[in-house]
Amino acid sequence: SNAWKSWGSKRREGVLETLDGIMMAVETQAQYNTSYMMSEEHQYMSPEDEWDRDLLLDPAWEKQQRKTFTAWCNSHLRKAGTQIENIEDDFRNGLKLMLLLEVISGERLPKPDKGKMRFHKIANVNKALDFICSKGVKLVSIGAEEIVDGNTKMTLGMIWTIILRFAIQDISVEETSAKEGLLLWCQRKTAPYRNVNVQNFHISWKDGLALCALIHRHRPDLIDYSKLRKDDPIGNLNTAFEVAEKYLDIPKMLDAEDIVNTPKPDEKAIMTYVSCFYHAFAGAEQAETAANRICKVLAVNQENEKLMEEYEKLASELLEWIRKTIPWLENRMAEQQMRAMQQKLEDFRDYRRIHKPPRVQEKCQLEINFNTLQTKLRLSNRPAFMPSEGKMVSDIANAWKGLEQVEKGYEEWLLTEIRRLERLDHLAEKFKQKCSLHQSWTSGKEELLSMKDYESASLMEIRALMRKHEAFESDLAAHQDRVEQIAAIAQELNELDYHDASSVNARCQGICDQWDNLGTLTQKRRDSLERVEKLWETIDQLYLEFAKRAAPFNNWMDGAMEDLQDMFIVHSTEEIHSLITAHDQFKATLPEADKERMATMGIQSEIVKIAQTYGIKLSGVNPYTNLSPQDITNKWEAVKHLVPLRDQMLQEEVARQQANERLRRQFAAQANIIGPWIQTKMEEIGHVSVDIAGSLEEQMNNLKQYEQNIINYKCNIDKLEGDHQLSQESLIFDNKHTNYTMEHIRVGWEQLLTTIARTINEVENQILTRDAKGISQEQLNEFRASFNHFDRKRNGMMDPDDFRACLISMGYDLGEVEFARIMTLVDSNNTGVVTFQAFIDFMTRETAETDTADQVMASFKILASDKAYITVDELRRELPAEQAEYCISRMTRYIGADGPAGALDYISFSSALYGESDL
């Protein structure tokens, strides 16, 4: 035992060199007889050790090897029209041995010696052994003499070396080769099957289920695996042997009884037989791998096309909404009534509160979908997505900008129109009031001026009529100002496009015509009275004085009453206080007016006193005026009554303006908090997007929480909208307490929502990039740390000079041409800056691998059995139904002369997957 161990240890290095590394992968368990067992640490020895230890070979294993190796040799020799019966005898002359090597290698060996002498046989065997050695295998302890002499152990060892070199050595699964590669392949294929657990090449195969599982995995039509029983190993093994021989062209190399009845079946025999299955199914494996690659590529394309269709649909819907909304906002047809314009304003508020916010979300989601799609296309080595004409993100942004410009103009127009209508209503009411007062005064004046009462009057009466006419002229001159005011108001109504301007103009024209006629009639009456003035000698001076003082005082009272009843519009407390000041000034004149009244009434008292003194019988009327003392008294009482009413109206307006001021302050208090809050959040998001803090998932969770906090803040925006609506309903159009308008807040809020959504999308894209490219979190952190270091301005962007310095610090050797090329990748829009997302995309593209058009083309070539075209049947047989139909619908017809009718061109299809052309 010790001698064998010593000899084996000295030989091991030579043996490993002999097999050129193969034995490291095909290390087999040493075979011992039941009378001698080595310790566990010496259970593995090289094949040369086993071939030289003839006495240690178990007879059962030798029997299995003889049968298996014989069947394996015959499976190749039958291609040359011959076979062997006895493995140690039929190879002794070297002829069939040379023929076997030619068949399995496909090469020609030197011409064999024809003689039958021993040295001829030895020469032929040596030619075979030399050929084996030429393939990188060193045969130690195997000589031609032992083969010629029929040494069974040496012959079996030589055949095993041939099997290793030509049947097992090239097996490779996941960078493992030979025995481990073959074992891993068996484990992968049998993993889903019950009662199968392949761990080795001996006892794992005793019940026959592993062999049946291999066949069923590749050809489920040949075996009903569900009917197999673990307690029927002989039946299972025979089923596998018969099916393999009949349908797979794998000869029967083992006996079921020998395997079942042997405690540990021979490993070499099992490996030889199992390797035949690997080679039988190798083509199917290659086709399966090719089909999987194609399915993966097509799945990526289908998903991308779905995202493109969704983008196109969402973009079309958004653009169509904008297209339909803009004409509504551009419709500046003014309504004639205030109520109709206020309804337009309410409709506009509904648009702002209800209809527009979902579209803002759609616009933001559209940009996110576009960025995600471009990232997926870039990660899958596909060309960038170019939306249909007019549906680029920039087109949508321009359309949206145009919408907001029209929207802003529409709101300004609405408010201007409401102010105009308010002014018109005020002027119209004022016009009616003044017209009514004027027409009330002129009523009957034309008839009076046309009377010829002076023709039959007495001298006193004539004088009285003359003085009366002079008083009328004074009154007429006093009313000139009102007529001018009426004309001025009518002109302003026309300039402001009053809806009932025709009625206003007609009424104004009537008043002006009447006024001109009154002037003419007055002049005519004066001329008539002057002609007879010499007839009148006396006149009651007191009546005349009364009339002269009473008329302007009466006119002053008319003006005072008009002013006290005048309507007013104010928009601030300053304006109402100005009106109150003016009213206070008016009240300050009342004592003087009262003195004037008392003086006027004193004249009447003097007339009465004189009449009583001199016994004059008064007619009861003043010949110089229609104003009676009672008229003066009544109007004076009316003036005194209107003064407190005016006080009340002004105080009510003060209360209203104070309420408006409270609304202004209330709005400003909130706006001055919300505006800076939005700005602060925008700046914080800008810092979050470039700061390193934990994994991308942690950043995503933090950003989601951040987004939720922002969404929760929406109630403050809604409250501010409510205050803004109250302000507009109260016709408050300016606010000196804040620089923030509701429009500023709305735009800032929409930008904040869009920014946080874009930031989340950038992290999502980084996760997509990391997972798709196999980039670790540590690498991403390194990329981010490098970016932040060279982001001098801390705004999430690098200038080209900073970007160049960053690349140089990471080991890039940059010339001007190379740097210009890189800049076209990271700044395709020539913005002059490099964003963090563009930097990450560039770094991952530099460090990761992607599938290529050549790889997909090679996979299709496998499915097409090396043809330059592929048929519809082949696609439907090798690919899942959905992917097969996808290819059939998009592949062009093959135009080569060697293709059958209906053949498809997979080469141009593969190129189109990665090119600029459409499928």
What is the per-residue burial (b if ≥16 Cβ within 10 Å, else e) of 373-403? bbbbbbbbbbeebebeeebebeebeebbeeb
- Model pLDDT for residues 55-68, shown as the tens digit of each residue: 345 677 788 888 88
At residue 375, the pLDDT reads: 87
Look up the CATH number of the domain holding residue 901.
1.10.238.10
Which one-letter DSSP state was computed for residue 834? E
- Model pLDDT for residues 531-562, shown as the tens digit of each residue: 656 544 433 577 778 888 888 989 998 989 88
Q: How many angstroms separate the Cα of 506 from the Cα of each of 29, 152, 260, 386, 432?
A: 123, 136, 124, 65, 12
Q: What angle do CA 834, 839, 842 make, to 5 degrees?
A: 125
Name the CA dihedral angle for 677, 683, 685, 687, rounded to a multiple of 10 degrees: -140
pLDDT at 17 over 50: no
448 with 472, same domain: the answer is: yes
Q: Which of 792, 815, 846 is the last residue of a domain?
A: 846
Q: Which of 360, 390, 423 is the last residue of a domain?
A: 423
Total domains in the fold of the chain: 4
Using a pLDDT cut of 70, give the percent of the chain over it.
Answer: 87
d(CA 628, CA 601): 10
402 with 454, same domain: the answer is: no
775 with 687, same domain: the answer is: yes
- Model pLDDT for residues 472-500, shown as the tens digit of each residue: 888 888 888 888 888 998 888 888 777 88
833 with 873, same domain: the answer is: no
CA atoms within 13 A on the CB side of 260: 15
Compare 891 and 423 and report the one with higher pLDDT: 891
Query: Given the DSSP bridges, would you call strands 797-798 and 176-177 parallel, antiparallel or unpaired?
Result: unpaired
Q: 874: domain range?
A: 853-914
520 token code pair = 């003419």
675 with 595, same domain: the answer is: no
d(CA 57, CA 29): 12
pTM, entire model: 0.52
Residue 472 lies in a domain: yes
821 with 896, same domain: the answer is: no
Query: Given the DSSP bridges, would you call strands 904-905 and 892-893 parallel, antiparallel or unpaired?
Result: antiparallel
- Residues 231/206, Cβ–Cβ less than 8 Å: no
Residue 394 lies in a domain: yes
Q: How many angstroms separate the Cα of 769 from the Cα of each of 30, 627, 777, 845?
A: 51, 99, 11, 9
d(CA 694, CA 198): 43
810 with 713, same domain: the answer is: yes
The mean of the pLDDT values for the chain is: 81
379 with 414, same domain: the answer is: yes
d(CA 624, CA 539): 10
Residue 208 lies in a domain: no
Look up the CATH number of the domain holding residue 778.
1.20.58.60
Residue 375 lies in a domain: yes
540 with 676, same domain: the answer is: no
pLDDT at 37 over 60: no
775 with 882, same domain: the answer is: no
Q: Which of 846, 866, 900 is the last residue of a domain?
A: 846
| Residue 240, Cβ density class (10 Å: 0-12 exposed, 13-18 middle, ≥19 buried) | buried
- Model pLDDT for residues 153-204, shown as the tens digit of each residue: 888 888 888 888 777 776 766 556 678 888 888 998 898 898 899 999 999 9
- What confidence tier does 715 reach under pLDDT thresholds 50, 70, 90? very high
514 with 470, same domain: the answer is: yes
858 with 825, same domain: the answer is: no
Residue 634 lies in a domain: no
Radius of gyration of the chain (CA): 56
At residue 10, the pLDDT reads: 34
What is the per-residue burial (b if ≥16 Cβ within 10 Å, else e) of 415-449? bebbebbeebeebbebbebbbebbeebbeebeeeb
Most confidently modeled range among 34-48, 104-118, 231-245, 808-822? 231-245
CB atoms within 10 A of CB 479: 19
Three-state DSSP string of 49-63: HHHHCHHHCCHHHHH
Across the range 113-122, mean pLDDT stands at 85
Residue 755 lies in a domain: yes
- Model pLDDT for residues 670-701, shown as the tens digit of each residue: 999 999 999 998 888 877 655 656 777 888 88
Using a pLDDT cut of 90, give the percent of the chain over it.
Answer: 13
Residue 21 lies in a domain: no
Residue 581 lies in a domain: yes
